[in-house]
Amino acid sequence: MLICHALWSQHATDTVFTHVEKMPVFGDCAGDAEEKKCSDLALVNFISHHLVYPEAAIANNVEGTVYVNFIVDETGHVLAPTLLMDIGDGCGAAALAVINAMPDWQPGYQDGHAVKVKLNLPIQFSLRNAQQTIAERYTITWGDIVGDTVTLEQLKSNLPFSVYVRGPEGNTHYVDELSFMYTSRNRRQTSAISRGGISEELVAIVEKVKVGGNLTITASIQDNGRFISVNRVFQVVANLEASLH
């Protein structure tokens, strides 16, 4: 038995599988009833949060799919990330950076033993997704409003103050275009747009707001030559204390 175990250990060390009885699992999905679905979703979420769309690719409207492969070893470590197909302008390097940033996986198993498994992974670069990801790094600030709930009194008391957008580094951007959209309880919508300031049209929208509705603020800015649209949705409540219960 000891000899057989030694032979298996040597075989597992030397062999890299492409398919095994139990494939590697990403994230905290081991033992989940739908393990593969859970793992795939966790992997997609990780990539979406860590993939940095290269500035050159954005400027040149480069989109497409980069293909990479890598090995998940017996301990779950990610090894030897390799670029199989690139689309240029730094996308290949960005895809490899995501692989290098991965935490350990749950290793794959063959005949009851953890083994090395090589995985192929397509990583999609979409300018639509890039713009959404970029926008998520910016936040709207308006007066003393904090959080996602607001009272009618707060909205009206902040009308004298300008709306700003704060960037990823904490720097403040002036707003080129500003819109307010009020959605009532019965889903009716009313909106208005200004050239960046709190105009009479925007004030009129706030005057229509009722408790139970939502006010969506959309601010458009320019940052490093990019046009970025940032949203913030407020739920309108009777009082902030009630919203906490």
C-alpha to C-alpha distance for 102 and 40, rounded to whole angstroms = 14
- Return the structure tokens found at 168: 């990823």
> pLDDT by residue (tens digit) across 109-121?
999 999 999 999 9
Q: What is the mean pLDDT of residues 150-162?
A: 94
Q: pTM of this prediction?
A: 0.54
Listed in sequence order, the residues at least 6 apart from 87 whose beta carbon sits closer than 8 Å to its beta carbon are: 57, 62, 63, 64, 65, 66, 125
C-alpha to C-alpha distance for 48 and 241, rounded to whole angstroms = 35
- Amino acid at position 141, single letter: T
User: Residue 161 pLDDT more than 60?
Assistant: yes
Q: Which pLDDT band, with edges at 50, 70 and 90, does 201 fall under?
A: very high
Q: Where in the chain is the domain with CATH 2.60.40?
A: 137-243
User: Residue 141 pLDDT more than 70?
Assistant: yes
User: Residue 2 pLDDT more than 60?
Assistant: no
Q: Which residue has the tokens 């999609």?
A: 124
Which CATH architecture group holds 137-243? Sandwich (2.60)
Signed CA dihedral, 194, 197, 203, 209: sign only: positive
> pLDDT by residue (tens digit) across 90-103?
999 999 999 999 99
CATH class of 14-132: alpha beta
Q: Where in the chain is the domain with CATH 3.30.2420.10?
A: 14-132
User: Residue 5 pLDDT more than 90?
Assistant: no
